[in-house]
Amino acid sequence: MADERRKSKRVPVLIELLWEGEAGKYEARTNDLSEGGCFVDTIGQASVGEHIIFKLKLPSGEWLNVEGDVTYVDPRVGFGIRFRSLSEADKAKMAPLIDPGSQSR
């Protein structure tokens, strides 16, 4: 199962995203997120191993550019992504979404 292969715990979070793959460009959303990847809830089609370029819309309104590889596909629902080399700055921007307690108040 995909859960057994994950290195980072995914947390439920809805984030708007735009993604582009071999089948075209799509608007979608995530329904979970971790430092290592996310699930893309979309009607767009992708294949396991496909390289995807996408943008996550952070709560601040800023768009975070991300790349990843499709690790599994759930037809008519979406697909799982493993991020490719996120910068430390990008990880820091995502941290409050993954662990709300990490946000300084």
What are the domain boundaries of the chain? Answer: 2-97
Q: Which CATH number fits domain 2-97: 3.40.50.150, 2.40.10.220, 1.10.10.410, 2.40.110.10?
A: 2.40.10.220
Q: Are 16 and 31 in contact (CB under 8 A)?
A: no
Cα–Cα distance, 62 to 71 (Å, whole number): 26
The predicted model scores a pTM of 0.83
What is the pLDDT averaged over residues 65-92? 93
What is the pLDDT averaged over residues 66-89? 93
| pLDDT, tens digit, 9 for 90 and up, residues 58-76 | 999 999 999 999 999 998 8
Query: Is pLDDT of 100 > 90?
Result: no
pLDDT band at residue 88 under the 50/70/90 scheme:
very high
Q: Cα angle at 50 between 88 and 37, to 5 degrees?
A: 35
Q: Are 19 and 52 in contact (CB under 8 A)?
A: yes
What is the pLDDT averaged over residues 8-21? 89
